[in-house]
Structure 1
Amino acid sequence: MKLKRAGGVLAVALAATALPIVVASPASADQGDCQLYLIDRGYNVGPKVESACRNGADTWMNPAAWGQCFYGLTGIGVRQEDAVGACNAAGW
């Protein structure tokens, strides 16, 4: 009887821990955060930056999104360390 009760308590505890992860939104950041990060560092935001940041925000169904964001930004002259910060802001 005690073993069943312990198993039930463990199952409830695991469910309570996993539920917020399951129902959480796919990303708490978005392309706007990426763009603001770059604006704060003195970059002009145009269509190419917007496109790269949009790619970086699409991490939920696209595991390559961060790389697309990073290479999109560095390809137009954004410094690597700034691209890392911007892409992290977009997808996390």
Structure 2
Amino acid sequence: MTMKKRAVGILAATFAAAALPIMAASPASADQGDCQLSLIDAGYKVGPKVEAACQAGARFSPTAYGTCLMGLLDIGVRADHAQLACGRAG
């Protein structure tokens, strides 16, 4: 086996090993914490109602974003802040 073929083989194996965790990861990288941090950065206090809304937004369901958004709007979060936070949750 030539050195070039060996180097290509090692490079391919290294790339595959590096790419596997990325491909195996869940499709959504955001979570409940990102939602809450977004609201903290916007000046809101995070309590049980914010936690519940962000947790609902982090669920894998077709209604997650809407549930999060309505939960935050119901407790007085501005619409633009709620949209950003819920977008980060899911």
Same fold (TM over 0.5): yes
For 1:83 and 1:77, locate their aligned partners in 2 and report how far apart those are by CA, in whole Å.
Answer: 9
Give 1:24 deviation, angstroms: 4.0
Look up the equivalent residue of 2:50 and give its one-letter code: V
In the TM superposition, what are the counterparts of 1:51-62 in structure 2 within 5 Å? 51-58=52-59, 60=60, 62=61
Distance 2:54 2:84 in 1: 11
Q: Taking structure 2 as the reference length, what is the TM-score of the superposition?
A: 0.72
- When Rg is computed on C-alpha atoms for both structures, the one with the higher figure is 2
Which residue type is aligned with residue 84 of structure 1?
Q
**Number of the residue aligned with 1:85:** 84
Deviation at 1:45, TM superposition (A): 0.1
| 2:3 alignment counterpart | none
For residues 7-46 of structure 1, what are the structure 2 equivalents within 5 Å?
A: 23-46=24-47
Q: CA deviation at 1:27?
A: 1.5
Alpha-carbon deviation of 1:26?
3.6
Code of the residue aligned with 1:47 in structure 2: it is P
Q: Size of the alignment, in residue pairs? A: 71
Deviation at residue 66 of structure 1 after TM alignment: 0.2
Alignment-mate amino acid for residue 73 of structure 2: T
Structure 1 runs, 4 residues or longer, greater than 4 Å off: none
> What is the RMSD of the two structures over their aligned residues, measured on CA atoms?
1.9
Deviation by residue 1:1-59 (Cα, 9 ceiling, x = unmatched): xxxxxxxxxxxxxxxxxxxxx7440421100000000000000000000000000000x
Task: Tell me the distance in 2 between the aligned counterparts of 1:77 and 1:26.
Answer: 30
Secondary structure of 2:52's aligned partner: helix
Seq. identity, %: 63
Structure 1 unaligned spans of 5+: 1-21
